[in-house]
A and B are shown apart, each in its own frame.
Chain A
Amino acid sequence: MTDRTRDILTGSVLLIIALVWIGLVYGTIPGAMGSATSARTYPLAAGYGLAGLSALLIVGAFLRTSKGSGAKRAGAVLDGFEWRAIATTFGFLAIYILLLQYFGFVLATVVGIAAFLVLVLGKRSPVLVLGYSLGFTFTIWLVLGELLAVYLPRGELFNLF
């Protein structure tokens, strides 16, 4: 993907977001009659600002010649590895949040870390898997939860410690 294509794509997506945002502002946030500002002022200004800037980005990209600076490659390609990284990061975070909600910090973290090491990163060393999952969880639980009294998530179904 070239710089030019990327800017047109980014600008178009942002322009759509800005228009939806402006629609939502008008539809859901009440204005204050007779007042200089209201709860609507800043979101609306931001929406129009984003719309204007996105349009400027698109126009700027179209004005660039396809053989000039616009033909430069735009950073690293989104290959299979990158897609895999996106899927595993957000997949792990979603499952971990669910585990935290139902099983609390200790159990969710031990299971989550061990599962990620074995299933996602393909680690097979029991020392690494058990050491990392148990050691890291215990350290966080002890230092933050017990010594520094930071509130750690408690499970709705089951809670260890």
Chain B
Amino acid sequence: MDTFIAALSMSMSWSTLVASVFGAAVGLIFGAIPGLTYSMALAMVLPITFTMSHEPAIAMLLATYIGGMTGGAVSAILIGVPGTPSAAATVIDGEHMAKQGKASIAVGIATIAGCIGGILSLVVMMSSVDALARVAISFGPAEITALVVFGLSTICGLAGGSLVKGLIGGVIGLMLMNIGQDPIDGVPRFTFGTTTMLQGVDLLVAMIGLFAVPHVVTVLGTYWRGKEMRIEAGDVRTELPSLRLLFAQKWNLLRSSLIGTVVGAIPGTGGPIAAFLAYDQARRWSKHPERFGKGEVSGVVAPEASNHAVTGGAMIPLIGLGIPGDPATAIILGGLLIHGIQPGPLLFMEKPDVIMSIYLLFVLAYLITAVIQLFGVRVFVKALRVPPHLMALGIMVMCVVGSFAIRNSLFDVGVMCTVGFVAYWLIKGGIPVTPILLGLVLGPTLERESRTALIMSEGSPSIFVDSYTGLLFWGLAALILIGQVITIVRSKPAASAAGKS
């Protein structure tokens, strides 16, 4: 109790509050703009924290991290372009909700679900940081490969009407990420002797092209046909999700938060994998899986709760062992070290009040981010009143700025346009976009980890099934694939009978 009171007095001051508000606002802006990442936001605020005492510094870093994660959902829902890779799964139902005039409730429930997911992950972190950190760190390249394959198996559920087309999308995503330097040997691939191609296709750049460019073409086409859909001012209300709606999502929230926490605790994985896994599980456990992809609330709740829970999960190896799992937590670790805090088991014994204050600042960051986001719902949804063809022009400019800002390269802007062009024709050819995105997100991890595993085993593939964890994920992936094939085989006679009748 003394530790808690000491931590509370350290954490709850005007300086930590101001630092949290500033960090959350910066994170939200960076998260909401496609192309700008929360890692960039963290890199930007880190020097500002140098002169601060350690509580406001930690508060600012955590709020930026959490704000960035939350902001990604805003653009995913309102303009159908995910602000961060973690929000990619939110687009699937969030965009449809916005088109149905439920933008404010979609943003509202995404915020609340994210906040609940984040705080639940904190509870898991507090109760099991030591044990979970040791389990998570035992994940080697072979186990991560199995986890990624399990993640890729969600293509089966996201493929829509045709499994073959879904798999084609996944393979195209993998192919795009093969361009550039190979991650293990540094061999140039498809660079055609140019140095600019060596940097390859950045995930965010590809994601912007994939979602934004086809959207702009469709909006302009609809405008010239005279069929532009305008959302009237009266249609846009500030509406928060009711308690009943939230209560109906309790199992979805709990399941998604657990998935996010566990995935987040494994270094080198992260939000996109967690969000897609949670989305797929939500669809599988739902009484109405047919509503998914058409504006289903659970389809927004699951990815948002899960990707926010990743923040708590990522803190487990960071705080428990001093190991960052991704660039964002690496920057936070840098900030902690600069302020004389060395995360690891010793910190728990020597400075329990600091650990407790980190937990409290984590909760504070979530609450402040949620408040800013919820007050901002009204402002955000007003963006929908702008005629879509005028907004399309702004989206094009923002996509160019975002693509350029990632690596300060106009080459990336060209890549974004090319990916957009290819994506447009693929969509016209009936290839679903989401599997392409899964291929983009998971492809590099799959190649890097599986090749590292094979190098470790001197070429023996048995390394992939050596551990129970690996076997578990391979088994789950196989179950999903077999389940999907059975569903297709069963649905064919029913479909043909319906056609005949």
Mark A residues whose CB is within 8 Å of B.
3, 6-7, 9-10, 13-14, 21, 24, 28-30, 32, 35-39, 41-43, 46-47, 49-50, 53-54, 56-57, 60, 68-69, 74-75, 78-79, 81-82, 84-86, 88-90, 92-94, 96-97, 100-101, 105, 109, 112-113, 116-117, 121, 132, 136, 140, 143-144, 148-153
Contact = CB atoms under 8 A, between A and B. Distances in A.
Interface string B190-234: 101000000000000000000001001111110111000000000
B224, B460, B461 pick with most chain A CB within 10 angstroms? B224
Contacts of B424: 86
Nearest to B431: A10
B239 interface: no
Nearest to A137: B397
Contacts of A132: 390, 393
A112 to B, nearest CB: 7
B221 A81 contact: yes
Contacts of A7: 430
Contacts of A96: 396-397, 400
The 5 A-B residue pairs with the shortest CB-CB distance, nearest first, are A36-B459, A10-B429, A39-B187, A39-B182, A85-B221
* B contact residues, range: 35 or more
B404 interface: yes
B165 interface: yes
Contacts of A89: 213, 216-217, 220, 396
A132 B390 CA distance: 9
Given A37-B451, A101-B410, A117-B393, A53 B171 contact: yes
A74 to B, nearest CB: 7
B497 interface: no
Contacts of A47: 175
Given A57-B164, A57-B165, A46 B171 contact: yes
B175 A85 contact: no
Interface stretch (B82-90, B104-112, B263-271, B413-421): B413-421
A113 B221 contact: no
Contacts, number: 166
B40 to A, nearest CB: 8
A24 B225 CA distance: 42
Given A21-B175, A29-B187, A81-B221, A148 B26 contact: yes
A131 to B, nearest CB: 11
B397 A46 contact: no
Given A42-B178, A89-B396, A94 B417 contact: yes
Interface of B: 26, 29-30, 33, 36, 40-41, 44, 164-165, 167-168, 171-172, 174-175, 178, 182, 184-185, 187, 189-190, 192, 213, 216-221, 223-225, 389-390, 393-394, 396-398, 400-401, 404-405, 408, 410, 413-414, 417, 421, 424, 428-431, 443, 447, 450-451, 454-455, 458-461, 495-496, 499
B53 to A, nearest CB: 24
A153 B168 contact: no
Contacts of B417: 90, 93-94, 97
A50 B175 contact: yes
A93 B396 contact: yes
A78 B424 CA distance: 12
B221 A82 contact: yes
Contacts of B192: 28
Contacts of B393: 113, 116-117, 121, 132
A134 B110 CA distance: 33
A143 B455 CA distance: 47
A97 B400 contact: yes
Contact of B178 (A38, A43, A81): A43
B413 A149 contact: no
30 contacts: A6-B429, A9-B429, A10-B429, A10-B431, A13-B429, A28-B190, A29-B187, A30-B187, A36-B454, A41-B451, A42-B178, A43-B178, A50-B175, A78-B428, A81-B225, A84-B221, A89-B213, A96-B397, A97-B417, A100-B410, A100-B413, A112-B397, A113-B397, A116-B393, A121-B223, A121-B389, A136-B397, A144-B33, A144-B401, A152-B401
